[in-house]
Chains A and B, each alone.
Chain A
Amino acid sequence: MLDRDCWLVLGGITGLLTLASIVSIVLRLFVRDPGKRPTIENLFDRTVSWWFMVALLTLAMWLGKSATLVLFALISFRALREVVTLAYTRCGDHRTLFWAFLIAVPLQYVLIGVDWYGLFIVLLPVWGFIFFSIRSALAGDVTRFHERAARVFWAVMICVYFVSHAPGLLLLDLPTSGASAQPIVVGYGAKLMIFLLVVVQLSDVLQYCWGKPFGRHKVVPRLSPGKTWEGLVGGVLSASAIGAGLSWLTPFTWWQAGLLAFEVCLMGFFGGLVMSAIKRDAGVKDWGTLIPGHGGVMDRIDSLSFAAPVFFHTVRHVWG
């Protein structure tokens, strides 16, 4: 799955991480200001976690398509656990949840594995929506039924359906899956996935890097105090520039890659914003504690869940 170009990008990421590790270790050794300590400890934890996440993803992609799909299925599974745990459900939702966790998650990724684009794209939004609603109604508990059904469906869409569009890019390797007569993305599935993941996660990191020192004006103060205009503009523009610079990995020209990266970064920002709104509504700060420094799995993939489907469909319609 990984050719020379992919390894070059992964090598670059390793270099970046090494740099980040050196910086965070130096800060940890020399900054003694107690007010700044929590931020620096958090930065250190984040960097360590990044090493693990990059290693895990690299290993999965090196092993091949099946391993990559298993990894993303586990990510979806864990994120779904975090989101459903914080939602209000009743005993009447139990069978629905069983289907969501143990049938919907594996099935969605199996469909990528067997290259079944037609069902992959409608399984959860159409069949899932209808089936889950019926299953919950059959349980006969009407207390806040609409809210409960909506929460379960939202969780499935965000954690499973949207996230599955990242490895779903492998489906674009099929010459028949797209809209255009002469698809130029065939053979680029894995590279497009790396491009998407690198840009969207770098955008998060760069928004943090710009926002921490320069952030003054909050974008939506009541919702997320960490998201500032300075961080947004600086992070999105610099990550888009990196995306343009990565055009050699993709079938696109440099400005096409830059525009796509811009779209991905913007959607990533909004994904984080929407998930922040849900967290505030549930009265929590993070989705979980699995990844030290980051929070839960959902905290790490909130931007990906919005960026992946938008990137997928843009690429598919224009170049696929």
Chain B
Amino acid sequence: MIAAAIRFLTGAHGRWAGVAPVASDDSLPQRVYYANHQSNLDAPVIWASLPPRLRRRTRPVAAQDYWDAKPLRRFISKRVFRCVLIERKRVSRSCNPMTAMEGALSAGDSLIIFPEGTRSLNDDGEMNEFKPGIYHLARKFPHLQLVPVYLENLNRILPKGEILPAPILAAVTFGPALMLAEGESKASFLARAKSALVSLASQDPDPMRRPRPEEPSHA
């Protein structure tokens, strides 16, 4: 029901381009969905766009300093979305953000992560550099499917710092899964992961820069 409400609010429905939601033998592949980050609605929208079977086994990764700070946020992150909360401020050997994620993956759950680490404030949808966590996960769990998820218009629905949503239509595109190649370096893997995500953009957010159709084909 929460998922349906999120889909109604954002008009989002998952577009699976180059990856099937569920494998052909009906098994549930373990995945890390990684996406561009613009809005607090990002993780709920991806979560809501997944088929129910996948949704039950998928947990968003969220920042402990934000989502554990107030009772309402704590309720939403822990009870509603079963978030994996990670430390971003006081990272130490005993308080390593990777430990929590690895624990969830070892338990067989899939994750939703935002490798940029924080919401980008860019009006035109350009992404920040990726943090290396996704590379470490891919190395530690070689069977993981890394699925890029490109989100559009969520920064227009609920930008950083706003509480009230403007209900325009969001788009959620799931792309072909990536795997870490044999002996691939950290830098080249992160670059490949980022470009796989960027290539899913269905259109330039700015209509003035979009190509014009040469031969219109419809009434």
Do B206 and A97 touch (CB < 8 A)? no
Complex CA gap A98/B207 in Å reads 21
* A313 at the B interface (CB under 8 A): no
Residue on B nearest A285 in the bound complex, by CB:
B218
Question: What is the interface of chain B mostly: helix, strand, loop, or mixed?
Answer: loop
Do A227 and B219 touch (CB < 8 A)? yes
Shortest CB–CB separation between residue A236 and chain B, in angstroms? 15
Do B207 and A281 touch (CB < 8 A)? yes
Q: Which of B121, B153, B162, B210 contacts A85 (CB 8 A)?
A: B153
- Bitwise, B199-215 to A at CB < 8 A (1) or not (0) is 00001011110111100
* A117 at the B interface (CB under 8 A): no
Q: Which of A94, A141, A283 contacts B162 (CB 8 A)?
A: A94
* B80 at the A interface (CB under 8 A): no
Q: Which of these binds chain B: A171-179, A183-191, A218-226, A238-246?
A: A218-226
Residue on B nearest A211 in the bound complex, by CB:
B219
Do B212 and A283 touch (CB < 8 A)? yes
Residue on A nearest B170 in the bound complex, by CB:
A85
* B159 at the A interface (CB under 8 A): yes
* A84 at the B interface (CB under 8 A): yes
Number of A-B contacts (CB under 8 A): 76
* A271 at the B interface (CB under 8 A): no
Q: For B11, list chain A residues within 8 Å (CB).
A: 81, 85
Complex CA gap A142/B156 in Å reads 17
A85, A89, A282 — most chain B CB neighbours (10 Å): A85
* B103 at the A interface (CB under 8 A): no
Do B205 and A88 touch (CB < 8 A)? yes
Complex CA gap A141/B123 in Å reads 11
* B51 at the A interface (CB under 8 A): no
Q: For B164, list chain A residues within 8 Å (CB).
A: 95, 98, 102
- Bitwise, B149-175 to A at CB < 8 A (1) or not (0) is 000010110010010111111000000
Can you offer 14 A-B residue contacts whose CB atoms are under 8 A?
A: A81-B11, A85-B11, A88-B206, A88-B207, A88-B208, A94-B159, A97-B168, A226-B219, A280-B212, A280-B216, A282-B207, A283-B207, A285-B218, A288-B169
Q: Which residues does B use to contact A, with CB under 8 Å?
A: 11, 121, 123, 153, 155-156, 159, 162, 164-169, 203, 205-208, 210-213, 216-219
Q: Which residues does A use to contact B, with CB under 8 Å?
A: 77, 81-82, 84-91, 93-95, 97-98, 100-102, 141, 143, 208, 211, 222-227, 280-283, 285-286, 288
